Amino acid sequence: MTTIAVYPGSFDPITNGHLDVIYRAATMFDRVVVAVAHNIEKVPLFTAAERVALVRAAVHGHQNVTVDEFDGLLVRYARQIGARVLVRGLRAVSDFEYEFQMALVNRRLDRHIETIFLMPKEEYIFLSSRTVKEIAALGGEASQFVPAVVEKALRRKSGVNSARRRRSKRV
């Protein structure tokens, strides 16, 4: 039987920390589906289509990793694609409470779906998409935290945003 695992998240944008989790999961399961959440509470920097494209480019060449997007209930999506495992990354203690709650709620919603937590390399423990966006917005070097394709996209975005800010100041 093929074991499919889903790694859901907003991936706004994907970082080396996410990739570390993906590669660990890829050695444990037959197939890993990175599921980019369409509707997220926060206003994302990248559109869903851009986030999916960046994840695709970042995992390119990894045979058992595929990328998809989803909307609505995660357990419903997992069931639809035949996945019985949800993968989440655990960083510092700050992730724990939220992740613990989500895992228990998801188990209530579907007792056949199990959540597992993977820890990244120590160097990624403090890495988040938010930090990366902040660094890029301030004109800092994000290349050690994200794949090259994401770094380029961040640069383009912050270029566009600062041009927009300059234009709006002129009016």
Name the residues annotated as catalytic. 18, 42, 91, 129
Q: What is the DSSP letter of 143?
A: T
State which residue, 4 or 21, has the beta carbon closest to ligand ADP.
21
Site string for ligand ADP, 96-135 (x = CB under 6 A): ------------------------x---x--xxx------
State which residue, 140 or 159, has the beta carbon closest to ligand ADP.
140
Q: Least CB distance from residue 163 to ligand ADP, whole Å?
A: 27
* CA–CA dist 55, 32 (Å, integer): 13
The single residue among 10, 106, 115, 158 that binds ligand ADP, judged by CB under 6 A, is: 10
Q: Least CB distance from residue 115 to ligand ADP, whole Å?
A: 10
What does the DSSP assignment read for 18-46? HHHHHHHHHHHSSEEEEEEESS-SSPPSS
Name 114's bridge partners.
Answer: 85
Burial class (CB within 10 angstroms; exposed 0-12, middle 13-18, buried 19+) of 25: buried
Q: Least CB distance from residue 121 to ligand ADP, whole Å?
A: 8
Sheet containing 65-70: give its strands across: 65-70, 31-37, 4-9, 85-89, 114-118
* 48: Cβ contacts below 8 Å, ≥ 6 apart: 36, 38, 69
66 binds ligand ADP (CB under 6 A): no
State which residue, 89 or 147, has the beta carbon closest to ligand ADP.
89
Q: What residues make contact with ligand ADP under the rule CB under 6 A?
A: 9-11, 15, 17-18, 21, 88-89, 91, 95, 120, 124, 127-129
